[in-house]
Amino acid sequence: MEIRYSVCPHDCPDACAWKVELEAGKVVRVSGDEAHPVTQGIICAKARYYPERIYGPRRVLYPMRRTGPKGSGKFERIGWDEALSEIQARWQKLIETYGPEAILPYSYAGTEGVINKAGMDRRFFHRLGATQLERTICSAAGSLGYKLAYGELRGFDPLDGVEAKLIIFWGINALETNLHQALLADKARKKGAKIIVIDVHRNKTARWADDFYLILPGSDGALALGIAYILLREQWIDRDWLERNVVGLQAFVAETKNYPPEKVARLTGLTIEQIEALARVYALSKPSFIRIGNGLQHHDNGGMNTWAISLLPALTGAWREVGGGALKFNSGYFPLNRDALERPDLLQGSPRQVNMIQLGRTLTELTPPVRSLYVYNSNPAAVAPEQQLVLQGLQREDLFTVVHEQVWTDTARWADLVLPTTTSLEHADLYVSYWHTILQWAEPVIPPLGESRSNIRVFRELAKRMGFSDPCFQDTTEDMARQALATPYWQAQGITLERLREERFIPLQVAKRPFAVGKFATPSGKIEFKSERATQLGLTALPSHRPLQEGPETSSPELPFTLISPPNHFFLNSTFADIPALTTKAGVPTVEIHPEDAARLGIVQGDRVRVANSRGQVCLRAVVDESVLPGVLVAPGVWWSEFYDEGLGINALTSARIGDIGQGAVFFSNLVTVSKA
């Protein structure tokens, strides 16, 4: 038995430190590293199945070439040399005939390892001049909304949150999506803190909280403004702090007059008493913090609503105290030298850009067409909206698709070439978190399985074949880690690769009260209650409630339900949905429906129901429960297509429409009908 250490690479805020047990050179157990200040020996239910992920039957082990029709699943094993030569030959021909924009890279955060997520790949596609991908599928709108207020994406160190006396989980299902935030909140609760959840779904976090506010989708901005109305009416604000730190307050105060409790009750589905109680407990508990989630911003008005919520801790002066304020993301604390990693200077000219959310439209409608798609770190056949269009695109015989994957995903099935990649236990990488503030480094724990090769290695080899001579295309992982760490930012002073190797994880220097003395990265240098930038982005200059394009205020007898499809407890986006032990625990794809709606439609518990709109239809099992409001449906999880009765997944129903700011996704602003199947 041998013990080694690693880091969980998945797209999750917790970025856990792993203890990995090996027997005869094989990984037999993955658990939490007790020494890591945030992980504290605890990891989620998913990661514990890592040995099955590494050694499971779904693992891609060799380069494979398609032999049958697209999507038939017929492939033959080929060598790396052959695979890389084929890519080079086909791309060179495409470039000669159509130019490099005929090629589209498609990736997201399959790994959060800095080097394998966005490094050599970016250099390669910059130099190639390929069509550029706007990577906005996850959190673009909310991140920009938060930045409208504070200018950058940082809050406080979550470890300091244990000092709080009130914690609001707003549009975040922390118990399932940010486990260690829930564990820290529990510590605060033991010291007397109260936990409140504001959500459209009585999820696990809501059931565990002290108080729960079940609101209508897309009504968060109205609720935040309604709370502000009461804080101002009662003078529960920190005048002195506000005077020094914010701009636009007067105009904001006038705007909140449009959000009296009666109106906010109508918009949110809450009672006036509930809104009054929420404002009171928020104002009078100190310190208080709001953990702002990703769920609430997957809407047409997600950027605006995040901005509105972000302003509440400024009104009460919550930032004055340790553990007070807000936490959206902390990516802004990691001062890596991204330019050195990604080398945007290699880009000549300005290739066209396409939004990753609109992959389906891109593959079926864009002219001149994309003729080759290179997918890595993502499973778009499952996760991207307008799934029918995505699949239609992937079926195109004239599209040369390469998928670099660890496992045989839905997307891999449609590829011309499938290339095997290493897992994080088989390659080295540097890890940041978008929530905690600890930098980590992991060495490989086992050799690569089969013939798998890491992202950095494959892009290095492709660069060589394409004749790219810039020395940066020969950089190793270690070279790139050093380049990333060579930054002038004070938070990273003294952090070297050598130290990281020695210590595995190093906390950044983060102020205890980061915004106590205001110096904000906004245009005005203050927290912006009124924002010029917002108007440039197409919003109103002051936060306001805007109805969803597809939501409760626009529903009709033809499309009466707003469908929410948040992450599943047992999967990480679509990752892990291939592990039998986890899919068994997860059961089958379900949809939660309010008892009144179910009764009206003659639907009972466990019925097969058809959820549909103009984009597609999906068969799900009904769960009749007051976990949702009337008119709202919740279908948790992005499953692989084989788990859905008719093969189409939840994203057959979601729109590739772009949200209010940041070109973000509107996964949860979707109207549907439901009927017994």
Ligand X SMILES: Nc1nc2c(c(=O)[nH]1)N[C@H]1C(S)=C(S)[C@@H](COP(=O)(O)OP(=O)(O)OC[C@H]3O[C@@H](n4cnc5c(=O)[nH]c(N)nc54)[C@H](O)[C@@H]3O)O[C@H]1N2
Q: State the residues that interact with ligand X by CB under 6 A.
A: 11-12, 108-111, 116, 137-139, 170-173, 176-177, 198-201, 203, 215, 217-218, 220, 293-296, 299, 376-379, 383, 404-407, 409, 421, 455, 564-569, 571-575, 634, 638, 650-651, 654, 667-668
- Partner from ligand X, Mo ion, none binding residue 664, C-beta < 5-8 Å depending on class: none
Q: Among residues 301 and 364, whose Cβ is nearest to ligand X?
A: 301
- Partner from ligand X, Mo ion, none binding residue 116, C-beta < 5-8 Å depending on class: ligand X
Exposure pattern of 326-344 as b/e (b: 16+ CB <10 Å)? bbbbbbbbbbbbbebbbbe
Closest separation between CB of residue 568 and Mo ion, Å? 13
- Partner from Mo ion, ligand X, none binding residue 572, C-beta < 5-8 Å depending on class: ligand X
- Partner from Mo ion, ligand X, none binding residue 571, C-beta < 5-8 Å depending on class: ligand X
Q: Among residues 514 and 566, whose Cβ is nearest to Mo ion?
A: 566
Q: To the nearest 10°, the Cα dihedral for 141, 143, 149, 155?
A: 160
Q: Among residues 106 and 400, whose Cβ is nearest to ligand X?
A: 106
Contact 629, 200 (CB under 8 A): yes
Closest separation between CB of residue 173 and ligand X, Å? 4
Contacting Mo ion within 111-140 (CB under 5 A): 138
Closest separation between CB of residue 462 and Mo ion, Å? 27
In what helix (H) or strand (E) does residue 247 lie, and over which residues does it extend?
strand 246-247
How far is the C-alpha of 302 from the C-alpha of 308, rounded, in Å? 10
Q: Among residues 544 and 574, whose Cβ is nearest to Mo ion?
A: 574
- Partner from Mo ion, ligand X, none binding residue 662, C-beta < 5-8 Å depending on class: none
Residue type, 86: E
How far is the C-alpha of 142 from the C-alpha of 155, rounded, in Å? 14
- Eight-class DSSP state of 482: H
- Tokens standing for 675? 């009927």
Closest separation between CB of residue 583 and ligand X, Å? 14
Strands 26-32 vs 17-23: parallel, antiparallel or unpaired: antiparallel
- Partner from ligand X, Mo ion, none binding residue 383, C-beta < 5-8 Å depending on class: ligand X
Q: Among residues 400 and 434, whose Cβ is nearest to ligand X?
A: 434
- Partner from ligand X, Mo ion, none binding residue 108, C-beta < 5-8 Å depending on class: ligand X
At a CB cut-off of 8 Å and minimum separation 6, what does 533 contact? 148, 522, 523
Closest separation between CB of residue 599 and Mo ion, Å? 35
- Partner from ligand X, Mo ion, none binding residue 176, C-beta < 5-8 Å depending on class: ligand X
- Partner from Mo ion, ligand X, none binding residue 163, C-beta < 5-8 Å depending on class: none
Contact 595, 553 (CB under 8 A): no
Q: Among residues 175 and 247, whose Cβ is nearest to ligand X?
A: 175
586 is a site residue for Mo ion (CB under 5 A): no
- Tokens standing for 529? 């209650």
Q: Among residues 138 and 425, whose Cβ is nearest to Mo ion?
A: 138
- Partner from Mo ion, ligand X, none binding residue 638, C-beta < 5-8 Å depending on class: ligand X
Residue type, 250: Q
Contacting Mo ion within 134-173 (CB under 5 A): 138
Closest separation between CB of residue 157 and Mo ion, Å? 22
Closest separation between CB of residue 628 and ligand X, Å? 9
Q: Among residues 245 and 424, whose Cβ is nearest to ligand X?
A: 424
Contacting Mo ion within 540-559 (CB under 5 A): none
Q: Is 493 exposed, middle or buried (0-12, 13-18, 19+ CB in 10 A)?
A: exposed
Closest separation between CB of residue 251 and ligand X, Å? 26
- Partner from Mo ion, ligand X, none binding residue 354, C-beta < 5-8 Å depending on class: none
At a CB cut-off of 8 Å and minimum separation 6, what does 383 contact? 108, 137, 573, 574, 638, 651
Length of the chain (residues): 677
Closest separation between CB of residue 519 and ligand X, Å? 28
- Which three-class secondary structure string do you get for 86-135? HHHHHHHHHHHHHCHHHEEEEECCCCCEHHHHCCHHHHHHHHHCCCEEEC
Q: Tell whether the torsion through CA atoms of 673, 206, 590 and 380 is positive or negative.
A: positive
In what helix (H) or strand (E) does residue 410 lie, and over which residues does it extend?
helix 410-413
Q: Among residues 371 and 436, whose Cβ is nearest to Mo ion?
A: 436
Contact 301, 657 (CB under 8 A): no
Query: Which residues sit opposite 673 in a β-bridge?
Result: 612
Closest separation between CB of residue 463 and Mo ion, Å? 29
Closest separation between CB of residue 177 and Mo ion, Å? 9
Q: Among residues 248 and 567, whose Cβ is nearest to ligand X?
A: 567
Q: Among residues 257 and 585, whose Cβ is nearest to ligand X?
A: 585
Residue 649 Rama label (left phi>0; alpha psi -120 to 50; beta): beta
CA atoms within 13 A on the CB side of 570: 17
The residues binding Mo ion (CB under 5 A) are 138
